[in-house]
């Protein structure tokens, strides 16, 4: 994967040249979030740390989509979904539930988990392994399905 900071800058230039205002605004928002973390921590972020910021921003959009869906605000669902789609272009490919179940099965076998009470033993190693490639809720769902039944 290329340097995320460079990819964001290139995407911003491309969006500005193409007059893609939504993409421009989302990329600027991502750069702003990264800059804010750098100001807060007084350090330049590494690629992994930038990825963590992007994951956090994507998670915010997923939660907003969920809330807007509950409130039946289709306009907000549409705009948040569009933003999420743009953010996801900078994230690694997301794993499917089936792929997560395969990884979860391997980790369950490694740690010797054999029931719902062992879920916490399994979650840490899986999350470390799929960092940036899966949402925690989806990982949790895969683990629960395997441990419960």
Both 80 and 22 in one domain: the answer is yes
pLDDT category of residue 1 using cuts at 50, 70 and 90: very low
Both 38 and 83 in one domain: the answer is yes
Both 75 and 105 in one domain: the answer is no
Both 122 and 140 in one domain: the answer is yes
| CATH number assigned to the domain comprising residue 58 | 1.10.1510.10
147 touches 113 (CB < 8 A): yes
| CATH number assigned to the domain comprising residue 133 | 1.10.10.410
Both 77 and 105 in one domain: the answer is no
Instruction: Spell out the SS3 assignment of 6-32.
Output: HHHHHHHHHHHHCCCHHHHHHHHHHHH
pLDDT at 25 over 90: yes
- Whole-structure pTM value: 0.76
Both 108 and 78 in one domain: the answer is no
Q: How many domains does the chain have?
A: 2
User: Domain range holding 35?
Assistant: 4-88
pLDDT at 149 over 80: no
């Amino acid at each position: 994967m290329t340097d995320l900071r460079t990819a964001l800058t290139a995407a911003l230039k491309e969006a500005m040249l193409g007059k893609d205002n939504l993409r421009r605004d989302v990329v600027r928002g991502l750069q702003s979030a990264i800059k804010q973390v750098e100001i807060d921590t007084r350090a330049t972020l590494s690629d992994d740390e930038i990825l963590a910021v992007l994951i956090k921003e994507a998670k915010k959009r997923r939660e907003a989509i969920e809330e807007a869906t509950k409130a039946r605000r289709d306009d907000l669902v549409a705009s948040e979904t569009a933003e999420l789609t743009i953010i996801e272009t900078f994230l690694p490919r997301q794993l499917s539930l089936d792929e997560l179940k395969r990884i979860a099965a391997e980790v369950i076998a490694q740690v010797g988990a054999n029931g719902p009470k062992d879920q916490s033993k399994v979650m840490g190693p899986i999350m470390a392994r799929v960092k940036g490639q899966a949402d925690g809720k989806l990982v949790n769902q895969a683990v629960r399905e395997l441990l419960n039944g």
